[in-house]
Structure 1
Amino acid sequence: MKRLVFVNLLFLFMLLLQNPAASQDAAEEPVPQVPTPGMVTMLDLGAHKCIPCKMMAPVIQELQKEYQGRASVIFIDVWQNREEGAKYNLRAIPTQIFYDKTGKEVSRHVGYMDKNSIVAIFDKLGVPKTKASDNAQ
């Protein structure tokens, strides 16, 4: 019985590793430098096909637009870029890692994270809510 369970688990693991689409997509999507030098950085590690990660996608896109030039918001698909999971000691996806301006990791969260929670961390790290040019108007 134990052998059968082991064989089934091994088969599933091998199946996950043999995803030909993932290796093709990885070449199309370069992995950015993390953290972004001199900027507060939020790294979201997930996968385009993971359900909670799909829920995070619109939040990430909004934050990328709203914080452009003030904070770096990066998404890396760890199913397409498998080496990245080990690089960040990933245990589950999605995982968000926050870095201060010096590049030091200051916070880590596992699971879906709503926009307000992310903005609260940006506030703690001193990221202005609006661009300086917006305040001058």
Structure 2
Amino acid sequence: MGDKEKQKYNRITLKIVMPLLLVCIVVGIWVVKNSNPGLALEGNLDSDFALHVTQELDLEKLKSYGVPIIIDFGADSCIPCKEMAPVLKELNEELQGRAIVKFVDVWKYKKLAKGYPVNLIPTQIFIDAEGKPYQPQAPEAIQMNLYTLRETEEHVFTTHEGSLSKEQLLNILEEMGLA
């Protein structure tokens, strides 16, 4: 094979191999990204199951999923809230589709806390899998607050003020109907 033939062969090879190589790289990246859901960014998750609430908190829509719900009202700059943040993130990721775990920064999004009994942060609101306020077996054991309407004595909220551990939250979720 002469020099001219080698050069022609090399050019043809480059014209074929380079596009194939680029296609393989693109396909490889797509496969890796889509085969591991853990790589998905929060913005890609269905907003109903995303951890951070920034727009609206549609409790009726969340109840329609038939899973237990924890809404943590706190702030990114509150020390006890910062301690709970990794726990909430873990639970949100681990329990996708089985429970809804939300975080609302009440200093950034004050209007999202309106209508909820939030007196200090962090405060968690608990709703069972049937869409009803959680009825703890022993509310005093974890210092739960039960709120009822004066006129009807209907139970409308169950809250906890302060931090909770992952174990405590998992126990509560199981009692609320976590499957």
Q: 2:162 aligns with which of 103, 111, 127?
A: 111
Identity %: 40
2:74–2:122 CA contact under 8 A, matched in 1: yes
1:96–1:108 CA contact under 8 A, matched in 2: yes
Alignment of 1:124-135 (within 5 A): 124-128=175-179
1:34–1:43 CA contact under 8 A, matched in 2: no
Greater relative contact order: 1 or 2 (C-alpha under 8 angstroms, separation 6 or more)? Answer: 1
1:60 and 2:88 correspond: yes
1:122 and 2:150 correspond: no
Q: Provide TM-score, normalisation by structure 1.
A: 0.68
Alignment of 1:30-49 (within 5 A): 30-34=55-59, 36=62, 37=64, 38-49=66-77
Q: Give the gaps of 5 or more residues in structure 2.
A: 1-52, 135-157
| Structure 1 runs, 4 residues or longer, greater than 6 Å off | none
Q: Provide TM-score, normalisation by structure 2.
A: 0.53
Q: Give the gaps of 5 or more residues in structure 1.
A: 1-27, 129-137
Amino acid in structure 2 at the alignment position of 1:115 = K
Q: 1:101 aligns with which of 129, 140, 143?
A: 129
Tell me how far apart the structure 1 counterparts of residues 56 and 82 of structure 2 sit (CA, whole Å).
19
Which residue matches 1:6? none
Q: Which structure has the greater CA radius of gyration?
A: 2
Number of aligned positions between the proteins: 101
